[in-house]
Structure 1
């Protein structure tokens, strides 16, 4: 009889530590229900480091639930470090799912809690960003992205935070992560293009631009960027094809006609150039380049007429020289309104000042000519 009693006592003694640890989880739950979150936190933190309870999904789910409530508590939440509550809840729910799967009793509940936790993490990220605490913002955005791996919003906001803290490599990685998630937007490509330019990586910029055009072939901004690349590289025919396509997509853009007019000018296609300059000023009378180039066209025609007249022998001059000079004078007169408008738009432009000063002189407008000459002398000082 004594041996039996001793055996029972020994078994009871062996069971005490495990029961004590199981009671730590139970006590944590009871304290949580009674609103004593500080005591619940102490109990559950003990339970997760004990080998008897640390391997149970219930322990980790309970810990996540307690820390979740701590974050929401205006009293007990003050004891947490910034971001500690949400991060601990997130890690705890993940552990519960890892131990039991999403179909288990606590794994299923943890998965639902994680979904709610996304909003907390994302909002904490927004708060950090608005406070210009970009590291805090990033930590929370990344947590939100872990909670919902297929969601692109947190990744996009991570990129914004990385740009704000001038972590351009990180921002580029986040934008490319979005592309890998089949997220596309004009702004995303525009930001990648800007980042490449900031880093003076023209090869990367060219690559991004082609990706952007493949995704948005009729986007005006990307088409203009592509046109500028062709113009800068001297690929005239390629540039002309691109600008024609750009004009087709944006027929009311005055600048496009002015640019194409300049291209036709370089190709000695004067009639086509004039048509584009006139179209540009029709769409926007304040287009400086078009106004100036129309002035130049008339100026050059006048100069050609006077030059031809000056090279005639006396007999030929007496026959047709005066006619040529009259034509030249008319072209000078025709250039005046274009040069005057250009000067109104850019009052200190030397080329316009010089051209108009010469025109005034040839037309006998001495006072106007001297006025512009005086301004030119002032600008040289």
Structure 2
């Protein structure tokens, strides 16, 4: 805190030498009085004095950055772990989180007025970084205590201090999810998508997963499709998004697109028996029987209990047998004597092949 008091001796000397000659000097004196009270540990008096300086239109423009910075330092002492035990009593009548919020507000105003290279403005980033840690830790403590409103307040303030920090925004979204504020969580997850850090790399896959879940909970099909496409653009081989995309195509009756998508899904998840079974069904619909049989057999080899693949294999062989028996039964005697027996024998082989899948 040494830098805070660099101008203290000069200001005090000026006050003693010239007294309170003008309103402007009176407000400069108010700043000095705030600093003196702060140094003496009388933060209640310091707050009164500095608020007078801040509120007065008589405070000179050149003194305003100092006033706001001093105000930030006073409120900072109320939340600084190294001084909170000593000065925390002065915050007992304030709302929870108010000292931290006012410290942030004050430092930001000092930076706005003084610029990043000014005497006070250049000190602000380090102060804000410390406050960021305090706000974030307050959020974590609230979350662990299941006080989600308090947690969200901390994470939101941390995000306000450092708008490009992804962690505070992500934790805000997690907190909103926990309190079932899905609209808020959706806004926070989408806020992550716009951060500079994610212009060169994708956001965590969990962000797309949660956005998809929220869209489903809201029964917003258009939004769900949009999220799936965003997820696939960021993670082209993610099997969850591939399968979601596949299901959307199939539910829309677009089997041609579904076939292409399921092949990609199989490439991403080659041991998923269900995918082979579904692709086999699509091949069946396209009368590509040989390809369908290959997929059903692959599905069964991966999962011998795969009901769909077993059923489809059984049905295929049974239908082949029935077709051959029917064809033989419709032959006249002469044709049957020439060709009927081989057809029935082939039909029997198909029928026997269907039995293991029954």
For the aligned pair, the TM-score class normalised by the smaller chain equals: 0.7 to 0.9
Equivalent position of 2:78 in the other structure: 70
Aligned-pair distance for 1:313?
Answer: 5.3
1:285 to 304, 311, 314: 304
Q: Does 1:173 align with 2:179?
A: no
**What is the SS of the residue equivalent to 1:158?**
helix
The 8 Å contact of residues 209 and 222 in structure 1, kept in 2 or not, is answered as yes
What's the offset of the Cα at 1:319?
Answer: 7.3
Counterpart-to-counterpart distance in 2, 1:68 and 1:114: 10
Verify the 8 A CA contact 1:47 1:54 in the aligned structure 2.
Answer: no
1:271-350, aligned counterparts within 5 Å? Answer: 271-312=290-331, 328=347, 331-339=350-358
TM-score by length of structure 1 reads 0.74
Residues 196, 204 of structure 1: 8 Å contact kept: yes
Contact 2:276–2:295 (Cα < 8 Å) also in 1: yes
1:60 aligned to 2:68?
yes
Aligned counterparts of 1:36 and 1:282: Cα–Cα separation in 2: 79
Are 1:123 and 2:137 an aligned pair?
yes
Measured against aligned partners, the alpha-carbon deviations of 1:115-162 in whole angstroms (never above 9, x if no partner) come to 221111222223333444444333333322222122222222333333
Conserved in 2, the CA contact under 8 Å of 1:28 and 1:40? yes
Shift of 1:61: 1.2
**Helix, strand or coil for the counterpart of 1:82?**
coil
Q: Map 1:172-191 onto structure 2 (within 5 A).
A: 172-182=186-196, 183=198, 184-185=202-203, 186-191=205-210
State the match for 1:346 in structure 2: none
With over 3 angstroms needed to count, the CA separation of the structure-2 counterparts of 1:67 and 1:54, relative to structure 1, is farther
Q: Report what 2:226 is aligned to.
A: 207
1:315, distance to aligned residue in structure 2 (A): 6.7
User: How far apart, in 1, do the equivalents of 2:351 and 2:94 lie?
Assistant: 81
Tell me how far 1:95 sits from its aligned partner: 1.2
Bigger Cα Rg: 1
In 1: Cα distance, 2:44 partner to 2:208 partner: 48
How far apart are the structure 2 equivalents of 1:242 and 1:165?
36
1:98, distance to aligned residue in structure 2 (A): 1.6
Q: CA deviation at 1:320?
A: 6.9
Q: Which of 205, 226, 229 is the aligned partner of 2:245? A: 226
Q: Structure 1 residue 263 and structure 2 residue 282: aligned?
A: yes
How much is the aligned-residue C-alpha RMSD, in angstroms? 3.1
Gaps of 5+ in 1: 1-10, 340-381
Residue from 19, 26, 32 that aligns with 1:26? 32
Q: Given the alignment, which residue of 136, 144, 148 partners 2:158? A: 144
Query: Which residue of the partner structure matches residue 358 of structure 1?
Result: none
In the alignment, what sits opposite 2:111? Answer: 97
- What is the SS of the residue equivalent to 1:161? helix
Task: State how many pairs are aligned.
Answer: 329
Paired with 2:308 and 2:329, the residues of 1 have a C-alpha distance of 31
CA spacing shift, 1:152–1:54, aligned 2, 3 Å: farther
Structure 1 pair 13/69, CA: closer, same or farther in 2 (3 Å)? closer
Distance in 2 of aligned mates of 1:138 and 1:173: 13
Distance 2:114 2:229 in 1: 47
Change over 3 Å in CA distance of 1:54–1:138 after alignment to 2: farther
Equivalent-residue separation in structure 1 for 2:93 and 2:307 (angstroms): 65
CA distance in 2, matches of 1:31, 1:12: 20
Unaligned 5+ runs, structure 2: 1-16
